[in-house]
């Protein structure tokens, strides 16, 4: 790539932001799990800000669900990459998809644990 084609500064930031929006749109359009997690976020994020006592609790409650969405984005990227190479089954492709799914499961488990550890002692 020549030095004249490289972008720096604000131009690079604006383009990167545009690519990020394209990624959000694509994941929302093609991934049902991500759509479901966005719907949960519409409820959980405001609730986390409301129920959290202090900045740390708010960050943990809200952030734990944002981690779920981040992991889902990464899992969807892995799945799209695997699918790009063809629909035929290969054990490594299946393993990659299973590992991505396990990561999503662990992130959801983490979010549930954070919410439980913060809120259950307060309300029991």
Active site residue ranges: 72
Q: What is the rounded CA–CA span in Å between residue 112 and residue 117?
A: 9
Question: Sign of torsion, CA 118 109 72 42?
Answer: negative
**Residues with Cβ within 8 Å of residue 119, at least 6 apart in sequence:** 51
Burial class (CB in 10 A: 0-12, 13-18, 19+), 110: middle
Burial class (CB in 10 A: 0-12, 13-18, 19+), 107: buried
């Amino acid at each position: 790539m020549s030095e004249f084609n490289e972008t720096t500064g604000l131009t690079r930031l604006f383009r990167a932001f545009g690519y990020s929006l394209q990624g959000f749109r694509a994941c929302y359009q093609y991934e049902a799990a991500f759509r479901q997690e966005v719907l949960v976020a519409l409820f959980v994020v405001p609730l986390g800000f409301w129920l959290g006592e202090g900045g740390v609790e708010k960050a943990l409650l809200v952030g734990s669900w944002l981690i779920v969405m981040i992991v889902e984005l990464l899992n969807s990227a892995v799945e799209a990459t695997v699918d790009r190479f063809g629909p035929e089954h290969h054990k490594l492709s299946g393993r990659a998809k299973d590992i991505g799914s396990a990561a999503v499961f662990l992130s959801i488990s983490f979010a549930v644990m954070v919410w439980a550890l913060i809120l259950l002692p307060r309300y029991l």
